[in-house]
Structure 1
Amino acid sequence: MNKFFKNVLGIVLVSTMSLSLMAGCGNSKDKSNVSKKGGEVTIAVTSFADTLEPTQQYFSWVITRYGVGETLVRFNEKGGIEPCLAESFQSSEDGKTWTFKIRKGVKFSNGDDMTPDMVKKSLERTFKLSKRAVSFFELASMEVEGQNLKITTKEPVAILPGSLADPLFLIVDTNANKDSIAMKGPICTGPYAVESFKPTDSCVVVKNKNYWNGDVPLDKVTFKCIEDQTTRSMALQTGEADIAYNLKAENLSEFKDTDKYNIQKLQSLRATFAFMNQKGPLNDLKLRQALIRGLDKQTYCNVLLEGGATAGKAPVPPTLDFGFNELKDENSYNPEGAKALLKEAGYKDIDGDSFVETPDGKPLQLNFVIYTSRKELNVYAQAAQVSLKKIGLNVKLNTVSYETLLDTRDSGKFDLLIWNVLVANTGDPEKYLRENWYSTSASNQTGYNNAEVDKLLNQLSKEFDKDSRKKLIIQIQQLIMNDASTVFFGYETTYLFSSKRVKGVNMYPNDYYWLTKDITLAK
């Protein structure tokens, strides 16, 4: 391993977590042999997909979470990168070429061998069909040399291995299911394969008998979409479900019986925020500043969410070592200051309805788009609506499905739009920052444009020194905060509730792996 590669490894990991290179995909902490082979499990989930085409929106996450798709590398339970479909990887001295040694003996679920050529075709398909792919890195070329796949980029990319751990780059058999991937799912290499799929309702996966990395204990797993949090909790309590995702702190009291349930807790790498669209009335900096200052985020997190989140102020949560405590928040909660800002900028209530009009006397109503499948997001939005009314801002909540929310974000037809996202999906915040706040990013539909942010993000993409990257990320965050571009509500604590009927259920910081080969029925 060359010196340059060792340096790179240090920065493609989340800084609060240690590196661990292991032999294969998925490693359970539970080493007990008390388990049962075969059987079926039901997992209650939210934010379902309306297609299994991995290159559309973020639906590749569903395919990976459901144990179907795998990537060349993956993250372990400490956030470190480990080999998966590639058994090793290293970089050239100039950082532009990465060589991945493709693992031998891997088969797709249909029995076809996974070869370096097929891996290349799969990645080419992703770049061809996904608008998001180029936001990870700009591909110059890919070449197969024996068992190796060489990926060359136009510029050095420090986070390339972590980028390829993103579910978007899962490896599919490009010769199979060409015209039916959307409903039948792609043919992949994971421990499970899709048996049936009903959009927004359920997905059934079955054991991949050709799985390359050990025995797959379960015969069948059903993912049941249950959007309502109370109903999802009841499903676990009644035995309808064995595992339930996206339950919250308020559900803890329902699962106190440790003889029946396991509860896992993780200070996650997720942030909840609201985009503010600067192509409409929120192009006024003082209006954005006043809006943020009118929000009591501490109370939202500590009281309304019962301590289930940490109050937000910056793009990157304090769980990662990127300067959270040293960042200066000029727009912390200050409702009187918010009112003064509005008055100074010419916003006043002309018609006596308790809501301000614009400086030119027009009605002002802000359209806040939220989605239904995560209850805490509605808590933030509803609380914000009440808080902002107190300073004279009229906010209308527009509740849509998650799939519609994605389309709405892409269209830019909103004033505010709720978002909950993993901030280190490559093991580092660079991708997250570039995707949401780089001026020409396809995901930036708010009109946010700061030349200095763009400049620093460009420097960051080529910077391989860990300490220098940290300084750049802190600078970028401070600029985004100073611009009052985004409402950072909070950083959630993630819980995973499961029945003692199952074992081997583990949480991962990157939230990609819900069903692994380690999950079994307990005897």
Structure 2
Amino acid sequence: MKRILSMFLLGVSLLALVGCGGNAMKTTAGHLNLAIWWFGETLDPAHAWDSWTLTRIGAGETLVAVNEHMEFIPQLADKWENVDPVTWRFHIRQGVKFQNGDPMTPELVKASIERSMNENERAKKIARIKEMRVEGEDLVFVTTTPYASFVSSLSDPVFIIVNTQADLSKVASTPVLTGPYAITGWTKGVEIQLKRNEHYWDGTPGLETVTVKNVEDDVSRAMALQSGEFDLIQRLSAANRSLFENNANYGIYETTGVRVQMLTTNEEGVLGDKNLRTALAYLFDSEALAEVYGNAVAAGEPFPPSIPYGHPGEKITHDPAKADAAFAAAGYTKNAQGMYEKNGQPLTLKFATWGDKTTLYEAIESQLREGGVDVKMIHVQEPDKVDSVGGFDLLEEDWAVAATNDPYSWLRGMFYSDSTSNRGHYKSAAFDAILDEMATAMDPARKDELVKAAARQLIEDQPTLFLTVPMTILAGKSNVKNVKIFPLDYYLLTKDVTVE
């Protein structure tokens, strides 16, 4: 129904546009009209999550970045090394200039990072920096504890390097950064204007100017792309996809993102029985759920296909026979109505939701009922409020499982025994031991082995049922060239994009 409504609204909008002649902007070579789905409150990289806008529009850069293959790559630092368990040395790239022509020095990089930590509590928390010092062309960091995720933390957009020698009274509207495009104008919540950074360190950017607009509604973005108002848009709903598929005038760029839609099981209730959790995992048809949601693929394991680590070679797929066997192992049998019960008591699960994915929730409820499990649906304002409605058996969760290309913070936050975000009360000494070693595993190969071991433990224990992985999608006109699609959706516009 949601998809039908979206298509209806889109059709009405397009007819209205045609009827009034439209207000399409003619494509201009060298200029990109870009629509994204969210603007931060400001353009200050140290404010809240506003830095995500700056990386999306090609304005801001960090010491380390993550490419389209989910690999760390040098950006404003051209190399780095782990000196000892708490010391890291980053060589600051030479010859880089800020967008106003000022040289980027190690001292200014240090000042920018210090500013981020002073202005943003999250930055301070994720970096765990005890001390910073400049040694020639190097910036040396000492962390509070051995911290294997340190490189990842510096790739977070909150650590975009800003020129602190520039007029910081204008940092919220026109920050002076290092990216291929410099901000020339900003209307809060509406529009950002950019021009080519003539001082850019990594070659000549492909565009002369860029206009970025904030268009939150999926239908409106699609309509504006089709009308010619935009050359490239971020996010494309399943309902609007058919407008651009198999059309030589447009291109669709997509990959699986780093977010997974999942159901947390409450192990302090009836789902404390591992056999019952396993039965539910095999009962769900994630392929069908992905089709219902649209622009998604089945999960069946903790990490999406776009992530090159954490795949133990085991994956849960829909298997009614295995589900029946696991229900039997948990002591459940089907009654005359085809519903599971134990000792004469029917199996009824409270399914708590907090988002707006109504069609997906209905599909999950339907699969449970068709599989013999009764469901009581409850809705809460947010996951942390679920206790106020009497708790849950299954809780909707939606997590970025490898934000900044590192799964440790998600694994630690959601599943570690004493974590306050461990809403399902999962407790596993084996899993905790894996995470304890992962926290200080400086060798990348060893860390990858530990991530795989953690994934294998989660698949075995099923504290969470991993259902679907939404796609990260861009759509654009065919004359927009060299577009890259990144699993991390805070990357979008690169120096290589051109408009012919």
Instruction: Give the conservation status (yes or no) of the 8 Å contact 2:279–2:324.
Output: no
**What CA deviation, in whole Å up to 9, does each residue of 1:233-254 have, x standing for no partner?**
2222221221122225665542
* Structure 1 partner of 2:6: none
Give 1:312's match in structure 2, choosing from 295, 299, 317: 299
**What CA deviation, in whole Å up to 9, does each residue of 1:53-107 have, x standing for no partner?**
5456644322211222210122334443332212332332x35322222234434
The alpha-carbon deviation at position 468 of structure 1 amounts to 3.4
Instruction: Give the conservation status (yes or no) of the 8 Å contact 1:140–1:153.
Output: yes
1:68 aligns with 2:47: no
* Structure 1 partner of 2:200: 212
Q: Which has the larger radius of gyration?
A: 2
Matches within 5 A, 1:225-304: 225-228=215-218, 230-247=219-236, 251-256=240-245, 258-266=247-255, 268-274=256-262, 276=264, 278=266, 284=272, 292=281, 294-301=283-290, 303-304=291-292
* Structure 2 partner of 1:91: 82
* Structure 1 partner of 2:71: 80
Tell me how far apart the structure 2 counterparts of residues 64 and 451 of structure 1 sit (CA, whole Å): 39
Normalised by the length of structure 1, the TM-score is 0.72
Normalised by the length of structure 2, the TM-score is 0.75
Q: What letter is aligned with 1:324?
A: H
The alpha-carbon deviation at position 368 of structure 1 amounts to 0.5
Instruction: Give the conservation status (yes or no) of the 8 Å contact 1:192–1:207.
Output: yes
Give 1:368's match in structure 2, choosing from 338, 353, 359: 353
Q: Which moved more, 1:131-140 or 1:82-91?
A: 131-140
The alpha-carbon deviation at position 490 of structure 1 amounts to 2.0
Give 1:198's match in structure 2, choosing from 183, 188, 195: 188
**What CA deviation, in whole Å up to 9, does each residue of 1:294-347 have, x standing for no partner?**
53212212x4356x43322221234545463633649966776787799869xx
1:324 aligns with 2:311: yes
Kindly report the root-mean-square deviation, in angstroms, between the aligned alpha carbons of the 2 structures: 4.3
1:423 aligns with 2:402: yes
Tell me how far apart the structure 2 counterparts of residues 194 and 454 of structure 1 sit (CA, whole Å): 49
The alpha-carbon deviation at position 132 of structure 1 amounts to 3.9
* Structure 2 partner of 1:32: none
Instruction: Give the conservation status (yes or no) of the 8 Å contact 1:289–1:331.
Output: no
Q: Which moved more, 1:66-75 or 1:116-125?
A: 116-125
SS, match of residue 511 in structure 1: coil
Give 1:172's match in structure 2, choosing from 153, 162, 166: 162
Q: What letter is aligned with 1:204?
A: I
Tell me how far apart the structure 2 counterparts of residues 144 and 478 of structure 1 sit (CA, whole Å): 42
Identity %: 30
Give 2:434's match in structure 1, choosing from 451, 456, 463: 456
Name the count of aligned residue pairs. 461
Instruction: Give the conservation status (yes or no) of the 8 Å contact 2:101–2:199.
Output: no
* Structure 2 partner of 1:189: 178
**What CA deviation, in whole Å up to 9, does each residue of 1:32-51 have, x standing for no partner?**
xxx976434132x3355445
Instruction: Give the conservation status (yes or no) of the 8 Å contact 1:425–1:431.
Output: no
Structure 1 residue runs without a partner (length 5+): 1-34, 372-376, 401-407
Tell me how far apart the structure 1 counterparts of residues 183 and 258 of structure 2 sit (CA, whole Å): 28
The alpha-carbon deviation at position 459 of structure 1 amounts to 0.7
Instruction: Give the conservation status (yes or no) of the 8 Å contact 1:136–1:431.
Output: no
Q: What letter is aligned with 1:512?
A: Y
Instruction: Give the conservation status (yes or no) of the 8 Å contact 2:130–2:143.
Output: yes
Tell me how far apart the structure 2 counterparts of residues 444 and 180 of structure 1 sit (CA, whole Å): 41
Give 1:382's match in structure 2, choosing from 344, 355, 362: 362
The alpha-carbon deviation at position 393 of structure 1 amounts to 1.3
Tell me how far apart the structure 2 counterparts of residues 364 and 142 of structure 1 sit (CA, whole Å): 52
Matches within 5 A, 1:379-458: 379-390=359-370, 391-397=373-379, 408=382, 416-421=395-400, 423=402, 425-426=404-405, 428-439=406-417, 447-458=425-436
SS, match of residue 314 in structure 1: coil
Q: For residues 132 and 274 of structure 1, do their structure 2 counterparts lie closer, same or farther at Cα, with a shift above 3 Å needed?
A: farther
Structure 2 residue runs without a partner (length 5+): 1-26
SS, match of residue 462 in structure 1: coil
SS, match of residue 452 in structure 2: helix
**What CA deviation, in whole Å up to 9, does each residue of 1:201-253 have, x standing for no partner?**
x341312646433444232322332333x443222222122112222566554
Tell me how far apart the structure 1 counterparts of residues 261 and 401 of structure 2 sit (CA, whole Å): 11
Tell me how far apart the structure 2 counterparts of residues 328 and 206 of structure 1 sit (CA, whole Å): 45
Instruction: Give the conservation status (yes or no) of the 8 Å contact 1:293–1:332.
Output: yes
Q: For residues 110 and 262 of structure 1, do their structure 2 counterparts lie closer, same or farther at Cα, with a shift above 3 Å needed?
A: same
